[in-house]
Structure 1
């Protein structure tokens, strides 16, 4: 091997930050040091990995994008090796986890705690993103695992079911149907709806409405679950959500539906093309 992990880490940093200056700031080195390392990596691999023009920043070539993807895996494997050479057999290393935003508080937070309790020398780096981007990042090798809804997933992913969320009606705390037992969704059919406009949640919520005979009058759309709760809490509409975590808000109320739609399965997903490392397997085993 005629290249170094340092050179690979500089390429990955440029891919993630987009410019030499931003990558240099993140790594606490000079832009010129990164530029020299990239030139050395080009010569070592015999291919041009980046296009660097002063007025246009840095772009990765197709070979550069492929090298950055493989480089991320190489750096994670090297980090895991470095933290596990003590000979104790203890699982150690970093696992990169992506999560659909509405699932993170209920699923990922307790999962990280369970993993750290079993394996103190592990560390979880997690990101929240929409379902499509998380799938792409899994397939590109940027993430080890992702927590997703089992809806429209790529055939290149393997999955393990970890939960199932039941949809419910969300209304303001002072709504006439707050605190009432299961209700027919049609009781709010004439009122405006606040839609969590973040697929697949939006697709599922609208499918629930159709199944229960309601054509919603969507007044507000937002990609933020917190904004959904804020708008509903102000009496500006109702919503259909499927989050499992208890809602700490005192301004909204959850009301079960009398015709309960099928649960929406939640899965842990990983790329079928990438072998799971010991720390990834340990995280799957540690799921609470």
Structure 2
């Protein structure tokens, strides 16, 4: 793979050229990037040419009617460019905001099922403390969030301690115990706890959003069960709606805020009778990247923030690289 030439003194490229290159990579075409940047297409194309000339590498392959494809070196430069632009934004924001004030943008990711209960209180509380700061957030599956962290698109992400990549640093926020979700009129709904073995022959609604599906299936297999999966919704609320209509049971970690679905059907939240471990919710970031000041302040705030309903407080613990 070609490497980017190290240059002494002032670089031969500009932050504007890097920003245009990032826009091209994210848009997939030069014309779409120009529209997003609200500038002319020739100006974007010229900036890309100048950047490639300054770095002495080919960043992308341009194919008529097929957009642009990053070269291996282009992918490497894209990650570096995003970080450089973030650092430049940090410098500008801190210089303009005054001592002690936060400004700029914090890019936060959150696993889809955690977002409804975890994000709102964190966003509201943190924004109240730092009104000059903007928090952009993205909800997605855990595999996608980790890829976006490594590519430099996100500063931090709230995820489960499941299938976490070794490249990730993490800090534990709180833990939650998995539970069974049943229709309210299920014969076992009046029980305080339900054994997974009692549901072995019943249809299962499997939340198919990584890593939830792996976790639920692994839990069943650990007790010698092979569940009869009938439905695989990718949405937490669709899973609850199917259970509410009596179309199966589900195993979830995130607890719903109430026992009614959007359609008004009731569900019953039951403890699992078998000994199951609690699952940790983490704040994660790339191990190789130093947190900027905005991310550090958000991490501090999360240590003091109130936990969502259903979470069990645990001592806050940062899992350092040497651990």
TM-score range, shorter chain: over 0.9
Structure-1 residue corresponding to 2:231: 220
Structure-2 residue corresponding to 1:154: 165
Q: TM-score, normalised by structure 2?
A: 0.83
Q: Residue 105 of structure 1 contacts residue 245 of structure 1 at CA under 8 Å; is this kept in 2? A: no
Q: Residue 160 of structure 1 contacts residue 268 of structure 1 at CA under 8 Å; is this kept in 2? A: yes
| Alignment partner of 1:182 is 2:193 | yes
Q: Residue 141 of structure 1 contacts residue 274 of structure 1 at CA under 8 Å; is this kept in 2? A: no
SS of corresponding position for 2:210:
coil
Structure-1 residue corresponding to 2:202: 191
Provide Cα deviations, 1:205-260, integer angstroms capped at 9, x if missing partner. 12222344543111111221121112111111110000045145342221222334
1:140 to partner: Cα distance: 2.4
Structure-2 residue corresponding to 1:71: 81
Q: Return 5+ residue gaps in structure 2 as ranges.
A: 1-10, 306-323
| Alignment partner of 1:80 is 2:90 | yes
1:280 to partner: Cα distance: 0.5
Q: Residue 115 of structure 1 contacts residue 286 of structure 1 at CA under 8 Å; is this kept in 2? A: yes
| Alignment partner of 1:59 is 2:69 | yes
| Alignment partner of 1:264 is 2:274 | no
SS of corresponding position for 1:160:
strand
For 2:104 and 2:138, locate their aligned partners in 1 and report how far apart those are by CA, in whole Å. Answer: 17
Provide Cα deviations, 1:50-72, integer angstroms capped at 9, x if missing partner. 21121321111122211211111
For 1:5 and 1:58, locate their aligned partners in 2 and report how far apart those are by CA, in whole Å. Answer: 21
1:152 to partner: Cα distance: 2.5
Q: Return 5+ residue gaps in structure 1 as ranges.
A: none
1:78 to partner: Cα distance: 1.8
Q: TM-score, normalised by structure 1?
A: 0.93
For 2:42 and 2:64, locate their aligned partners in 1 and report how far apart those are by CA, in whole Å. Answer: 13
1:9 to partner: Cα distance: 0.9
Provide Cα deviations, 1:12-63, integer angstroms capped at 9, x if missing partner. 1111111112212222222222111111111222222121121321111122
For 2:39 and 2:191, locate their aligned partners in 1 and report how far apart those are by CA, in whole Å. Answer: 61
| Alignment partner of 1:253 is 2:263 | no
